[in-house]
Structure 1
Amino acid sequence: MGETTIENSKILITGGAGFIGSNLADALINDNEIVVVDDLSMGKKKNLPQGANLHFIEHSIADYEFMSTLLEAWKFDYIFLLAAVASVADTIVRPAETHIINQDANLNILETIRIKKLPVKKILFSSSAAVYGNNPELPKKETSPIDPLSPYAVDKFATERFVIDYGRLYDIPTVATRFFNVYGPKQNPKSPYSGVLSLVLESIINGQTFTVFGDGEQTRDFVHVEDVVRALTVLASHSEALHDVYNVGTGVETSLNTVIRLFEEIEHKNLTVSLANARVGDIRESYCDNNKLMSMESWPMLSVKDGLINYVQYTK
């Protein structure tokens, strides 16, 4: 199949000023009208593309009446549910408060669409590889055992089920995606929610010491945000992607030590590393089986090396 596009559509992106949401807005802005709702607790307005097609609203998605009115007024074709409190640690400190954003707000959106019978071509919910927890089965398949270990992961999995089952019960076209370790342009290393790659890059550029917890041999499936955006548009536009969950990752596991070595090669610099004890609850190895996504539409994903080169160029 050829490259998939979405055109002449009204699109809602919750959390659209954040890292993944703003990259998605960049990709869709030319051919569509986009509404971004973001409370800017993590996102930045400057991340968003400029233009008449972009409507930015600074507001919490937890405001049920506001969101219902918006959904009814716009009758969106596509809805991307990306807004979340993305810090696992934050959800452990504030479980009830973060639950309102990470689950209840999304449920309220589904309820409005159900009650008002709003026409929608596809609702996509962004879940996380965190739902798999520490289960040792590798690679992680969509059918692998689920073992959420934090309020963040519990809310992600519960919302996945709501999204998929609302879809089936009330004939709403829905899909959920489990993102693995996303990196790339607009990721903010200053944020406590940031991925490890942005922290390594910041350390090497600024000559700071980087702390490795454990031996550095822990592995992750690092997926460039360009590929995540492509996955979202593929799943949004393929009618056969329905009432189901899809892993979004490269299917390749890369150790932290490999990432450090690649950054050193790209930057022609050595990184000063200090070692600390492994963190309790940290997952040792993780990578995905992405065959289900690739069966929808296959494309060559960026290798970690090429993705890191792209990321370094953007950062500079």
Structure 2
Amino acid sequence: MTDTKKEDAANCKGLNILITGGAGFIGSNLTEYFLNKQAKVRVLDNFATGHRHNLEPFLNNPNFELIEGDIRSIADCSTAVAGMDYVLHQAALGSVPRSINDPITTNDVNVSGFLNMLVAAKDANVKRFIYAASSSTYGDSEALPKVEDVIGKPLSPYAITKYVNELYAEIFSKTYGLECIGLRYFNVFGRKQDPQGAYAAVIPKFVMQYMAYESPIINGGGDYSRDFTYIDNVIQMNERAMLTTNKEAINTVYNTAVGDRTTLNQLVQYIKEDLTAYDEKIATVEVIYGANRVGDIPHSLASIEKAEKLLGYKPSHTIKEGLKEALAWYWENLK
């Protein structure tokens, strides 16, 4: 263990951290990580999209507390933030297609719920509010790589809600002095990501299809590209945002990514190759191509220079390294 990692572990011991959406994919990974760092972790979740089984390993941990509640309730938010040092706000309704099908609920959760959490955090005098922002905020901007201060117009209701989050966070930092840091996640993947449901993320969905010898369906011709980001990189960014003492690093937003892009055609090939090592029959499964999805951004590639400079961020996993770990987890847990 490096001296830096020792220092981080020491800094986390005894900290009171609220993780909203802690039963979800990213939230449960953050919960596990900070419990292992000896922090005291409280989770607020209504289990609308998160899963109880993601929290089961922590239920007997004396440093873990679960509050079953909804960020759309200011009372639940106030209860959850009481006595907390930091908030890692992950709770949201994700998915561009979901927001197109039901913009009202997406707005209620992602905007009204977000505002409730900001108000509760301000009133409780938490030290810092770190929140999950989104690469969807870049909208129709064609510039590559994506740089934090150059965005376009949103392409979906979901993207609008995530941009509004950034605007509210900026106002709360300027008006009330609440320290806020937004992390624009770029296509996060990894262990515990749910492969089921109509709005499942592309990587676990492809993995489960291959393991069932079913053809993955790619929307469009497969030339759309994404900055796929392994969960451990996201955990690192949350920790660095929470613990930074650099005043220049707070009250702003950061791309949370790798700084490399992969086309969907490349992605399915990587997944097929890795899974074939477990089951040779998977090599025979062919891909099917469908129509492009409404609201999808053609290409996404992040500049991570700002996070490197101000937070000392350095991605621990490339997409290939992350996929090998993620696929090993899926094979062991879901096959």
Q: Does 1:201 align with 2:207?
A: yes
Cα distance, 1:122–1:223 mapped onto 2, change above 3 Å: same
Q: Residues 70 and 266 (structure 1 numbering): CA distance in 2 closer, same or farther, change over 3 Å?
A: closer
Q: After superposition, what is the alpha-carbon deviation per residue over 1:211-242, rounded to whole angstroms, capped at 9, x for unaligned?
A: 12221111000000111011100111002221
Distance 2:198 2:130 in 1: 26
Across the aligned residues of Structure 1 and Structure 2, the Cα RMSD in angstroms comes to 1.6
1:124-139 equivalent positions in 2, closer than 5 A: 124-139=130-145
Alignment: residue pair count: 312
Task: Look up the SS of the partner of 1:288 in the other structure.
Answer: coil
- Given that 2:156 and 2:295 are in contact with CA atoms closer than 8 Å, whether structure 1 keeps it comes out as no
Q: Which residue of 2 aligns with 1:93?
A: 101
Secondary structure at 1:188's aligned position in 2? coil
Rounded to whole Å, the distance in 1 between the matches of 2:303 and 2:213 is: 36
Q: CA deviation at 1:192?
A: 2.6
* Residue of structure 2 aligned with 1:285, choices 299, 316, 320: 299
Task: Output the TM-score relative to the length of structure 2.
Answer: 0.89
Q: In the alignment, what sits opposite 1:68? A: 78
Q: Which residue among 25, 29, 32 is the counterpart of 1:19?
A: 25
Higher helix share: 2
Question: Is the Cα–Cα contact under 8 Å of residues 165 and 243 in structure 1 kept in the other structure?
Answer: no
Residue aligning to 1:40: 47
Name the structure 1 match of 2:279. none
Relative distance call for 1:249 and 1:300 in structure 2 (3 A) is: closer
- On the 8 A contact 2:228/2:258 being kept in 1, the answer is yes
Q: Post-superposition, which runs of at least 4 consecutive aligned residues in structure 1 deviate over 4 A? A: none
Write the distance in 1 (CA, Å) between the matches of 2:204 and 2:134.
Answer: 19
Q: How does 1:1-316 map to 2 (within 5 A)?
A: 2-3=4-5, 4-5=8-9, 6-30=12-36, 31-48=38-55, 49-50=57-58, 51-71=61-81, 74-114=82-122, 116=123, 118-240=124-246, 241-268=249-276, 269-270=282-283, 271-295=285-309, 296-316=311-331
TM-score using structure 1 length: 0.94
Greater alpha carbon shift after TM alignment, 195-204 vs 277-286:
277-286
Structure 1 residue 298: Cα displacement? 3.4
In structure 1, runs of 5+ residues without a counterpart are none
Structure 1 SS opposite 2:132: strand
Identity %: 30
Q: What 5-or-longer segments of structure 2 have no aligned partner?
A: 277-281
Report the secondary structure of 2:254's partner residue. strand
